[in-house]
Amino acid sequence: MKNIFITMLIFIFFVGCFEKNENDTIKIGVVLGLSGKYSDLGLNEKNGIILAFDKINYQINGKKIELILKDDKQDKEVNKQVINELIEDNVKYIIANATSSMSKISSEIISKHKDIFQISPTASSSYFSKKDDNFFRVQTANSIEHFSNLIKLLEDSKAKNIYLIGDVNNKAYLYDYLHLFDDKEMKYKELIDSNLAYEDILEKVKDADFIVQVQNGIDAAGLIQYLRINNNTTPIISSGWAKNEEFIENVGKWAEGVYFTSSNYINYENKDYQDFAKDFYSIYKYQSNRSNIQGFQAANIIIEALQNGHKKVDDIKKYIIEKETFNIAGDEISFDKYGDIKTPYYIFRVKNSKFIKIK
């Protein structure tokens, strides 16, 4: 009897310790494309996210943060698997994903669980817009409203033959560009799959008056360089996805004059940005880019909500929506009642290897 009593005490002690350890830990999942196509975007966002948690020493209000990193590999089935793994592991806060196509898959699963909050650093598809759900993001949505400057640029150019170049496998992101002219007299002459060989694309756009390009920075740079070397001087406007230093570094002198549509306007003179850039460089030894910043921002929004005592999804949503505006890393982010960003899209043009805002 005495041995049984002692055994029970030991069991209760260990169960109590286990429950205490569980209660003293906040699990936060991070699902990004860390390998495969578009991994540059995911890896950059990961570095920004990790910096945010480094700065608080992985602790919030005395509780330890357990950051659980998962690679979606830009693969639908892999993404489903890792999201379900996080749910099974009782993770209530998830930063996911880098691309709209993967974010869509994640949100469709997470939406069935009303106690899980998801925030994406860079998902921009209008698919997520104006929905009262548990999905927030720090990237302005693609929409006709936000594309007004892009449409005006094309209208003013009086272009007749407009070609759209994009990855047909990333339909969630490409969708809004496909429907850019739904209520206009203008239309695309053709959608060209960016996965085609460069020489095939060159042949297809030989009569183009304007090219709308939807690719990441490295891919956009490679194609533009090829077109220009082969004497195609058609005006090009690229999506905000490509507006980064990787584009400038990879395209060389052929960047000059290329347009971009993007909500990403960084105030490099802002002290908060300079502090972020200094901290980032001290760890990673390269100059921070927009994807790093957006990863940092997404993480900080969750951190701030939790620091203010908001643990439940509804409380986190209410806190973010009521506060509305966050100033993080020199960038002002304003949320609407659906968790969408209000920041408009601007038009930039490359001049002397710099992105200059023109409207």
DSSP string, 282-334: HHHSS---HHHHHHHHHHHHHHHHHHTT--SHHHHHHHHHHH-EEEETTEEEE
More confident residue, 95 or 174: 95
What integer is the mean pLDDT of 1-17? 53
What integer is the mean pLDDT of 196-209? 98
Residue 113 has pLDDT above 60, yes or no: yes
**In b/e form, how buried is each residue of 183-222, taking b as 16+ CB within 10 angstroms?**
eeeeebbebbebeeeeeebbebbeebbbbbbbbbbbbbbe
What pLDDT score was predicted for residue 153?
Answer: 94
* Per-domain boundaries in the chain: 9-141+269-334, 148-262
What integer is the mean pLDDT of 314-318? 98
Percent of the chain with pLDDT over 70: 94
pLDDT in tens, 19-63: 445 578 999 999 999 998 889 999 999 999 999 999 999 999 999
Percent of the chain with pLDDT over 90: 77
What pLDDT score was predicted for residue 313?
Answer: 96
What pLDDT score was predicted for residue 173?
Answer: 82
What integer is the mean pLDDT of 141-159? 89
What pLDDT score was predicted for residue 169?
Answer: 81
Residue 333 contacts residue 138 (beta carbons within 8 Å): yes
pLDDT in tens, 54-94: 999 999 999 999 999 999 999 999 999 999 999 999 999 99
What integer is the mean pLDDT of 231-235? 98
What pLDDT score was predicted for residue 145?
Answer: 76
What pLDDT score was predicted for residue 18?
Answer: 47
Residue 343 contacts residue 329 (beta carbons within 8 Å): no
pLDDT in tens, 241-256: 899 888 999 999 999 9
What pLDDT band is residue 185 in, cutting at 50, 70 and 90?
A: confident
Residue with tokens 């993007």: 262
What integer is the mean pLDDT of 210-235? 97
What pLDDT band is residue 176 in, cutting at 50, 70 and 90?
A: confident
What pLDDT band is residue 181 in, cutting at 50, 70 and 90?
A: confident
Interstrand relation of 63-71 and 25-32 (parallel, antiparallel or unpaired) = parallel
Residue 13 has pLDDT above 60, yes or no: no
Task: Judge if 9-141+269-334 and 148-262 fold alike in CATH terms.
Answer: yes
What pLDDT score was predicted for residue 19?
Answer: 46
Q: Token pair for residue 246?
A: 């990787």
Question: Under CATH, what is the fold of the domain 9-141+269-334?
Answer: Rossmann fold (3.40.50)
What pLDDT score was predicted for residue 170?
Answer: 79
What pLDDT band is residue 180 in, cutting at 50, 70 and 90?
A: confident
pLDDT in tens, 325-357: 999 998 889 999 999 998 888 999 999 999 999
Q: Token pair for residue 15?
A: 């169960």
Tell if the pTM clears 0.75, that is, is over it. yes
Structural domain 148-262, CATH architecture: 3-Layer(aba) Sandwich (3.40)
Residue 212 contacts residue 190 (beta carbons within 8 Å): no
